[in-house]
Amino acid sequence: MRRPGPALIAVAVVAALGAGACSGPGRPGSPVAGPATPQAVPAELRMPALPPPDRCVTATVAAMSLREQVGQLLLVGVAAGRPERARGVVAAYGVAGVFLRGTTGRTPADLRAEVRGLAAAVPPLDRPAPGTGTPDLFVAVDQEGGAVRTLRGSGFTPLPAAREQARLPVDGVRALAGAWAAELSSVGVNLDLAPVADTVPAGRERTNPPIGAHGREFGADPDDVGPRVAAVAGALRARGVMPTVKHFPGLGRVRVNTDTDRGAVDRTADVADPHLAPFAAGVRAGAGVVMVSSATYPRIDPRRPAVFSPAVIQGLLRATLGWDGLVVSDDVAIAEAVRDVPLWRRAVDFVAAGGDLVLSVRSEYAGTLAAALELRARRDPAFRARVAESATRVLRAKRSVGLLSC
């Protein structure tokens, strides 16, 4: 079915938000519930507290206009072989970052020059003030190994899938991750949407299309998966690349790929699921970002997919497990799992649920997503505070890997 273009959708944003559009109870767009009361969970599931944002971060966020804060909530995609095509979007919307989607066989030297061109397109703040800085750009890839490996040209390590990596001792996984982290850093990539922290139960690999069918998991036992997730996260962070643990709270038991189909459900996951432990292990080792999946988890929230669920993001991830760092969505642009939600609403509902960084693999949708977020924030003071809170988390993460200085 042909999808409406961004310009047409932007008109719908103004009309719907201007009319105070709201879904019924239990549907995306419903008022955000408060964080769940923290529950006692096993120590291995708890995530560490982060230091509060420093003065550089808080002063920069305070100096930003609403439009500039909204820009820092967007991570937009561009074909990996032609990153320069995103320069216009970077300049127009001041987005938080660019995701190099797909694959490319280009050499490190070629990519390095074009990534530098992207960074040069970052606009300065409209109203800079003493003690503030201009946030540099996240440049992100999917560099996991196996079938999911963005950079494949000569000069990049040929990475096996995680299931094969898991045959190495933990130190071997760490060394391999260190090699690919150094390559990413050398071309200006500073955000890796890896490692996968999902656990696929033994014998269910073929019936798990998003992870097991491609060998993207480190194992069938979270006790084995956790140390390897931590090894990859630590190796990336040590070389200045921000790691991302995904796909919270787990895609290892679903029978549907959220990218290509609807109806992905995990009926086992709950607030004390041992499969959550690898996510916590990755965060403790240095992962500064948690990616939330678009599957549904009825024992946590029976009504909403995780990406739009306050119970998953505010309740489980933040209140129960203690995570106050950056939360990124899985793709909201073309993923089949979110197709029933209008494009403009996907960003609003994710941020309203407690998410921070909206991933759209299509940069041409940036205007629609930014317009929806800004208009909702102008009409709703509580949502405007949410935007500022998320912009602060984005800048704190950037500050921690050298992408903001004052």
Check which CATH number belongs to the domain holding 74 and give it: 3.20.20.300
**C-alpha to C-alpha distance for 90 and 307, rounded to whole angstroms:** 25
* pLDDT score of 22: 38
Domain presence at residue 222? yes
Q: Which residues pair with 138 in a beta bridge?
A: 97
Q: 120: how many CB neighbours lie within 10 A of its CB?
A: 11
Residue with tokens 């899938």: 161
Domain presence at residue 165? yes
**C-alpha to C-alpha distance for 382 and 173, rounded to whole angstroms:** 44
Q: Which residues pair with 292 in a beta bridge?
A: 248, 329
Q: Is residue 239 a contact partner of residue 181, using CB atoms and an 8 Å limit? A: yes
Q: Which amino acid is at 78?
A: V
Q: Is residue 178 a contact partner of residue 163, using CB atoms and an 8 Å limit? A: no
* pLDDT score of 376: 98
Residue with tokens 């041992």: 274
Domain presence at residue 275? yes
Enclosing domain of residue 239: 41-400
For the chain, what's the residue count? 406
Token pair for 319: 């209140």
* pLDDT score of 41: 83
* pLDDT score of 8: 41
Token pair for 145: 């190994």
Token pair for 396: 């704190």
**C-alpha to C-alpha distance for 269 and 345, rounded to whole angstroms:** 26
* pLDDT score of 17: 52
Contacts of 209 (CB under 8 A, 6+ apart): 254, 255, 256, 257, 260, 261
Residue with tokens 């200006």: 188
Q: Which amino acid is at 390?
A: S
Q: Is residue 106 a contact partner of residue 381, using CB atoms and an 8 Å limit? A: no
Token pair for 309: 């669920």
Domain presence at residue 300? yes
Domain presence at residue 368? yes
Task: Render pLDDT for 235-260 as a digit per residue (tens, 0 to 9).
Answer: 999 999 999 999 999 999 999 999 99
* pLDDT score of 39: 58
Q: Is residue 73 a contact partner of residue 356, using CB atoms and an 8 Å limit? A: yes
Residues of the chain with pLDDT under 70: 1-39
Give the chain's domain count: 1
* pTM recorded for the entire structure: 0.92
Domain presence at residue 1? no
Q: Is residue 168 a contact partner of residue 176, using CB atoms and an 8 Å limit? A: yes
Domain presence at residue 270? yes
| CA 341 from centre of chain | 19
Token pair for 209: 């299309």
Domain presence at residue 75? yes
Q: Is residue 341 a contact partner of residue 369, using CB atoms and an 8 Å limit? A: no
Q: Is residue 174 a contact partner of residue 231, using CB atoms and an 8 Å limit? A: yes
In a 10 Å sphere around its CB, with 0-12 CB exposed, 13-18 middle and 19+ buried, how is residue 27 labelled? middle
- Mapping DSSP to helix (H, G, I), strand (E, B) and coil, where does residue 185 land? helix
| CA 92 from centre of chain | 22
**C-alpha to C-alpha distance for 187 and 74, rounded to whole angstroms:** 22
